[in-house]
Amino acid sequence: MRKLIQSRVTRCVFILIFFFFLPHLCLGDSFSPSPPLALGSLQCYTGLLNMPTARVLGDWRVIVNYGNDDPYSYYGVALGLFDRIEVHGQFTEVNTIEAFPGQGYGHYKDRSAGVRVVLLKERDWLPQIAAGVFDVTGTALFGQRYVVASKLIHNFDISFGLGQGILAGRFVPDIIGNKRDKAFAYLLSSPRQTTRPFGGVQWFISPRLTLVGEYSSIDYKNMFGFIHNGVVVKEDHSRIPFNFGIKYKIFPFLNAKLAYIRGCRLAFGVNLNFPLEPEGFLGWKKEAPYVAYERLKWKAYLADNDKLASLIAKEVKEDGFKDVRVACSDSAVWVEAANNKYWSSVRAISRLCSILDGVCPPRIQTFYVNLKVDSQVLQSLKCSREDLRAFIESRIDKKTFFLYNSLSLYGDNHLKEFLNGRDLSRFHRERDDWFRFKIEPKVRTFLNNRRGFFKNKVLIQTSVDLYPLEGMLIRGQIEHTLYNQFKDVAFYSLEKEPTRTDIVLYERNSAPRISQMAVDQVFSLPWDILFRASAGYFETGYAGLGFESFRYFHNGLLGLGLESEIVKKRDPDDNFKMEPHTSTLYTAFLNCYANVWPSKGIEVGLKVGRFLAGDKGVRVDIRRSFKYFTIGAWYTKTDTSVFSSPKNREASYKAVYIKVPFAVFKDKEVRGRFTYMITSFTRDQGQTVEQIRSLYPMDPWETPYYTRQDFEEMRK
């Protein structure tokens, strides 16, 4: 009787909520001819409620999702790529099963990842067809494979698919057996297995309101969370294999979902759905155009070459550029500056050209504009003043402009041409960035430890950067701990001399810690090779020496370099001591870089050589740098025979990461990015030593290829 009352109450609540939204059926916003097809499901991926569709998120669009469908809670994120691919990752919390009983971990939590690929785009009478997999790493407790078609008919998006794994009512570990990597084994398993149909429809009532109905092929009696180790831990009260729900857009980026699942329970969720754009939520204020006042123009007209260089250098510095160096001849001007203002190199060059054109007297007819990284010229534009004006005024096109003017990687040839025997010491320098001070809050998280899913360390990181000489950086960094749970983490060294599995020994200490205290110098060598040498405390665990060389080729689309570190272990409890009974470790790498699909920002990096523990192998880094965001993943595979621990011998170190421009949170364009990374279980395999700077790989937007591609921005 009690269950019957609860069921009727649940139905009444759902009906009342449905009629709360009923005005949208008749009085809602006028319906858009292009409805938002890629709507989030209760889980992290695009879909109906629990069933996938053939829709994917638009290119560079993200969903951050929370969903609750008892006994499951879903925390996940999805990303659209190229309007054809959607990748998604999720943690699923199961409230009927306790993991690591007695150790404080709480409910069982499973991590899953998946991908969906559009095989055929929708057109005319043809539906969109996609194939996908989910839970392709780890346990495969929620593993699934499917093919699905979706077709928009008026305001109805109809989907039909065939699924395997949990979409066919099967428990994947039962299919695979005792294979170690169950998810990968299932991904490659025979397609000849139980297959079931699923499907549903989304009715777009208005741009804000969508009604959903789906036929669910899941058999909850066989689902992890309803059954565990052959024992029923939750009764399945399903009455019908259908789910019904509402999706509602509360704000432009915020959506809510409410569903009635299989005639027996309510489920709900919320998600953020937004594009990855550097001009984020606040919108950038438009920068005022550069104006040279008449008094400055008159002073420049009367000035000799040295005084003119001084005037220009001060104008460039006061406009916000750093590390400025200027020289003038009777007919040309040479300007170097670090682009710390704009993400776009074109906008930086355009601003510098505006300053030069505004200040320089008529006798100056040739501009050499150079952008620097770490005090070294990375790209150099030589142009005629008249051709520049003609291009900006649209009297000539880009092809014609570059027929008579040049944009080169590095600037040695342009410099030789400009100097023509002049003394380099006559260059006028303006530097006001010799000192930088920064205080930042930091949170470090040890994820999915058996003593707790989240173990956090909260600290204040204070950094001081000094630039006493050209190309030199001296950094001091100290950490003050505010809150520390790392002392509770159950994680132990796997080797007699571990490279990284002793990290908890360093992080559990809450005393102030000098995390970095090092000097780094960048030099320019012959043949446009950049060289970097460093010494000091590189990170909380290591101190020593570092060396690196790197050179870009083919307008920055290719790069090659060498790298090595020679380090000793630091004492976990004393800032200024080395571990007395540990070996000297070294790394040696060949670094290779390729921008393999420039128009889409697809980059590949290879680090081949000897890693910190002496294990030899390769790290493959694949990422997309697009719209000044970077999302990527790397995978490290080495010869693990040097290790004694079975966990290290079976390890392959991997990670996913995202780099977000600070400008997303600002009302103006600013440089700098925030990086967040999730790695696999910490092992001693495939480890490297952090450096305070790196030449490999440098920022792809700083190369001539992208400047040439985006050169039309000069006219804006």
Which of 396-400, 448-452, 464-468, 621-625 shows the lowest mean pLDDT across its residues?
448-452
Confidence of residue 178 (pLDDT cuts 50, 70, 90): low
Residue 605 one-letter amino acid: G
| 357 within 8 A of 385, measured Cβ to Cβ | yes
Name the E strands within 121-155: 128-134, 144-153
CATH T-level fold of 2-275: Porin (2.40.160)
* Residues pairing with 404 in the sheet: none
- Would you state the pLDDT for residue 11? 47
- Would you state the pLDDT for residue 117? 97
Domains 294-432 and 435-702 share a fold: no
pLDDT digit string (tens) for 426-437?
788 877 678 889
In order, the DSSP letters of 605-637 are EEEEEE-TTS-EEEEEEEEEEETTEEEEEEEEE
Of the CATH numbers 3.30.300, 2.60.120, 3.10.450, 3.30.70, which one belongs to the domain with range 294-432? 3.30.300
- Tell which CATH architecture fits domain 435-702: Beta Barrel (2.40)
- Would you state the pLDDT for residue 30? 42
Question: What contacts 171, CB < 8 A, 6 or more positions away?
Answer: 141, 222, 223, 224, 227
Higher-confidence position of 180 and 614: 614
Instruction: Flag whether pLDDT at 2 surpasses 80.
Output: no
- From the list 81, 78, 119, the residue with the least C-alpha distance to 601 is 81
Computed over every residue of the chain, the mean pLDDT equals: 88
Average of pLDDT values for 320-343? Answer: 92
- Would you state the pLDDT for residue 427? 84
Cα–Cα distance for residue pair 695/707, rounded to 1 Å: 20
Average of pLDDT values for 393-400? Answer: 92
* Residues pairing with 549 in the sheet: 531, 562
Q: Percent of the chain, pLDDT > 70?
A: 93
| 381 within 8 A of 367, measured Cβ to Cβ | yes
Confidence of residue 652 (pLDDT cuts 50, 70, 90): confident
DSSP 8-state secondary structure symbol assigned to residue 447: E
- From the list 443, 433, 436, the residue with the least C-alpha distance to 475 is 436
Alpha-carbon distances of 610 from 607, 616, 642, 675, rounded to whole Å: 9, 4, 12, 26
- From the list 239, 359, 286, 268, the residue with the least C-alpha distance to 40 is 268
pLDDT digit string (tens) for 259-308?
999 999 999 999 999 999 888 777 788 888 898 899 999 999 999 999 99
Instruction: Flag whether pLDDT at 38 surpasses 90.
Output: no
- Would you state the pLDDT for residue 21? 40
Cα–Cα distance for residue pair 268/263, rounded to 1 Å: 15
Helix 385-392 × helix 345-359 angle, to 10°: 120
pTM: 0.86
Confidence of residue 179 (pLDDT cuts 50, 70, 90): low
- Would you state the pLDDT for residue 18? 41
Domain boundaries, the chain: 2-275, 294-432, 435-702
